[in-house]
Structure 1
């Protein structure tokens, strides 16, 4: 009987103690600040506008690639006659310029805003999902413009190096130079 009283005493103490830790002021922390909400809306608007862009003949300007229920947009700016595509585990050498189009912030490129050469490992967990899905569909020598929504980019959190705000739409222009 004594052990039941001790257990009951500790249960009461824990219930009272834990309820004292609650938010008595009933404050709610917003999911995003007003500034972040504006940023998110601007990025969504940009992506939707590009998704609906059409050429003079009425055809959509950008092709769509669905990846895990999300869609990225891309268009081939320069075609290649080389019928060779990188494999899913390839190291792909590209000349690339990456920007956050809403702010025109360069995230991949030199200080003058020109493309830089780099190697992307398609099976690397550090490569954003959108590029990892798109690159195996691009021929050696092709130049591509890709618009990647945040779900296939850096997600819904701020990214630190380089700094990319949460929910940022990304735009990459790249040429596939080689792969192995």
Structure 2
């Protein structure tokens, strides 16, 4: 009887442990390797450093935009048309250059490091949350630099093309060309 009780407790502990280590699709999430833990720590440190940069006048260099429970950083480099903002149903034509700032690897741009033009459906579930939220308040003609934490980017999974490692901070410089 005691062995049945022990076996039953063991089964309950194992099932509870496996459920706690799975994602929403029921797949087990592997533990982070030491290299992944280092990468995550470097990305978090980069974001926190940028968040704390103060200009000579005492103002923070980057403004903060809260999206759900997370925050992205941005600063306006060139002002756009004040009366021209998109709606959630808009498609935004954007010229952008992006990097993984921790590794300095380019992720969006042409082979010479120049910005590329892309059109984003602002209502698309495929558009990362941080970029969608920022574009919804960016004016036509405005040039913006943004730093997006992994929670508002590609999350805790690797992104295959272009390759972006899990938990990567993203940095984009973009100019909004038009909204349709």
Gaps of 5+ in 2: 15-28
In structure 2, what is the equivalent of residue 46 of structure 1? 46
The 5 Å alignment of 1:123-134 reads: 123-134=123-134
- Report the Cα offset of residue 30 of structure 1: 7.0
**Residue 136 of structure 2 aligns with which residue?**
136
Question: Could you give the per-residue CA deviations for residues 62-109 of structure 1, whole angstroms, max 9, x where no partner exists?
Answer: 000000110000000001244110111100001000111001111111
Aligned pairs for 1:76-87 within 5 A: 76-87=76-87
TM-aligned CA deviation for residue 161 of structure 1: 1.3
Q: What SS does the aligned partner of 1:145 have? A: strand
1:56-71 aligned at under 5 Å gives the runs 56-71=56-71
Question: Distance between the aligned counterparts of 1:116 and 1:30, measured in 2?
Answer: 35
SS of the residue 1:71 aligns to: strand
Does the 8 Å CA contact 1:47/1:147 hold for their aligned counterparts? yes
* RMSD over equivalenced CA pairs, Å: 1.8
Residue 113 of structure 1: how far off its partner (Å):
1.4
TM superposition score normalised by structure 2: 0.83
Structure 2 Cα separation of the partners of residues 135 and 141 of structure 1: 12
**Mapping of residues 1-180 of structure 1, within 5 Å:** 31-180=31-180
Unaligned regions of 5+ residues in structure 1, if any?
A: 1-11, 23-28
* 1:12-47 CA-partner distances (Å, limit 9, x unpaired): 8xx79x96xx7xxxxxx9721000010000000000
Q: TM-score, normalised by structure 1?
A: 0.83
Larger mean Cα displacement after TM superposition, 76-85 or 46-55: 76-85
- SS of the equivalent of 1:44 reads helix
Contact 1:82–1:141 under 8 Å retained in 2: no
The 4+ residue runs of structure 1 with deviation greater than 3 A are none
* Distance apart, 1:162 and its partner CA: 1.1
Alpha-carbon distance in 1 for matches of 2:176, 2:83: 13
1:174 counterpart SS class: strand
Secondary structure of the residue aligned to 2:103 is coil
Contact map agreement 1:84 1:139 (CA 8 A) in 2:
yes
SS in 1 for 2:136: helix
Q: How many residue pairs align between the two structures?
A: 158
Q: Distance in 2 between matches of 1:39 and 1:131?
A: 22
